[in-house]
Chain A
């Protein structure tokens, strides 16, 4: 069943269209990459999917019910949102941060239950942060902090995880490990939509890609079908190396094309 379905979604800001006629769906087990050049509308799309803002036109349905009609807390239990540069303002512990992900499951007077503790433990394990559970956030490296925030998002046991460039500031090993964690989460029946700038990671890890350009979907489908030479040249203005390694195909951006230098490939 489709978990989250977008149909004809459009949004304008200050009279300028930001997103136009967006339609696609996410189901359990999907790892969907949302890609596109800067300013294509990726983050805006993710916020719409999280229910943080409303589209001007079209509808977004979570489990066949309009996302705006969901009570906040019920929605929060199903969708976890991981922003672009997650930050925690107080130096709480890693486990304390992950426990914030349990807030939608907890009433005002409820104390943390064994179920909360188990979910936090599972999320920390999934993000490889179990050994740092008692470490304060201000004493983590950048990569560890990114995984701690990922654990926070996973601790709410969401059906859908929306992550906005979770690997943007990470070195290659941390970036790869975060992508592995996302894949693992999808493998356990979660759905993931992740905004990525790194086309190599996107092509390798995602089942499907949604390529945005100037607020519209330029292409959607399996990475191989989306990241064609022509599209990379048209939309990104680059030439790329396409290859295969250990049964996985990859794309490596190679060269920025000059104006009028359309189809040159190495």
Chain B
């Protein structure tokens, strides 16, 4: 063979990742800078690293830092697990929320609140959340099977989410004290406000373990662009890949939801927006979506603080309000393509 033309394998992500990374950093610092008390950069740094007065230190370390750090962690989780689920199900409509993982994670957490386990034992909330998410993902796997088509996937997710909604309603219904009810309801709306660094450290090990599991499937997700037999013939053990993705998503999303409450649609929107920028390759989409998810959640959390509403809007409310129209648009686009 002579003179083979040079082939450009679309291998580089180019500027996508560095730009996203820089934007995430900027959003992180912006999140630290925004709040009711006006603090200059010097005061912020002093508040974080010591040397400031007590009020500034408390504002920075106990109010703003946990909020920004959780935004980073949970946003990245939602983006990463969303792109992982879309790759696994080969379906741009999959996301941790839509397949019911967040919903059952919420049920787990609500049960922890309902039975007062949370007060007795701090790890109970994330652990129950993770258990709920695991149940959801396994249910989905059983119902929809491996080569799920869009309809079965969405219906199974709807069923699981409805089950979650019903169980949460049941918990509220049976709740004796109005205090427990309002605790559950507020928690369900999803927010990063009034969380402490303890929440961060509690959720982080589970979330990190989930990230590692999901990220380890990057190559396999590329292979899963093709059918199962071909992916297997490329040297991947698919049962193991599915298990890692399911358990990883349950761990990371379960722990996230246990800390922040339900924050929907980030995992759907972000992979979809970024997919064209990484040449539609599922493996490369993972890091990009993690960064994109962190960016979107940090920005949304900044937005709820800046909105001139009487009470601060809950983050989960805002992402759903923005996410639902986007989701409908996606459904319409898919329908147009298939008809």
Contact = CB atoms under 8 A, between A and B. Distances in A.
Interface string A85-120: 011111111011101110110101001100011101
A93 B233 CA distance: 21
Given A90-B90, A95-B10, A96-B279, 15 more contacts: A73-B235, A83-B227, A89-B90, A91-B280, A92-B280, A100-B223, A100-B226, A100-B234, A103-B223, A106-B219, A108-B216, A108-B219, A122-B1, A125-B5, A156-B234
A52 B279 contact: no
Task: Name the 3 nearest CB pairs between A and B, nearest first.
Answer: A76-B235, A81-B233, A73-B235
B6 interface: yes
A104 B234 contact: yes
B225 A90 contact: yes
Interface residues of A, number: 49
Interface of B: 1, 4-11, 90, 216, 218-219, 222-227, 229-230, 232-237, 275, 279-282
B25 to A, nearest CB: 24
Contacts of A104: 234-235
B282 A52 contact: no
B235 A86 contact: no
A87 B226 contact: yes
A76 B8 contact: no
Contacts of B230: 81-83, 86
B13 to A, nearest CB: 10
A8 to B, nearest CB: 24
A86 B230 CA distance: 8
Interface in A110-143: 111-112, 116-118, 120-122, 124-126, 130-131, 133-134
Nearest to B223: A103
A4 to B, nearest CB: 14
Contact of A88 (B8, B226, B229, B235): B226
Nearest to A101: B234
27 contacts: A52-B229, A72-B235, A72-B236, A81-B230, A83-B230, A86-B226, A86-B230, A87-B227, A90-B90, A90-B275, A90-B282, A92-B10, A92-B225, A93-B279, A95-B7, A95-B10, A96-B10, A99-B10, A101-B234, A103-B222, A103-B234, A112-B11, A116-B9, A120-B7, A121-B7, A125-B5, A131-B5
A192 interface: no
Nearest to A80: B233
A99 B9 CA distance: 7
B219 A72 contact: no
B225 A88 contact: yes
Contacts of B10: 92-93, 95-96, 99, 134
A68 B270 CA distance: 41
A116 B9 CA distance: 9
Contact of A111 (B7, B11, B216): B11
A81 B230 CA distance: 6
B5 A121 contact: yes
Contact of A125 (B1, B219, B224, B279): B1
A89 B225 contact: yes
B229 A130 contact: no
Nearest to B275: A90
Contacts of A133: 5, 7-8
Interface string A47-73: 100111000000000000000000011
B170 to A, nearest CB: 38
B279 A92 contact: yes
A79 interface: yes
A100 B275 CA distance: 17
B222 to A, nearest CB: 6
A181 interface: no
B95 to A, nearest CB: 16
Contacts of A75: 235
B148 to A, nearest CB: 12
A86 B227 contact: yes
A118 B280 CA distance: 22
B82 to A, nearest CB: 15
Contacts of A106: 219
Contact of A130 (B5, B237, B275): B5
Nearest to A79: B233
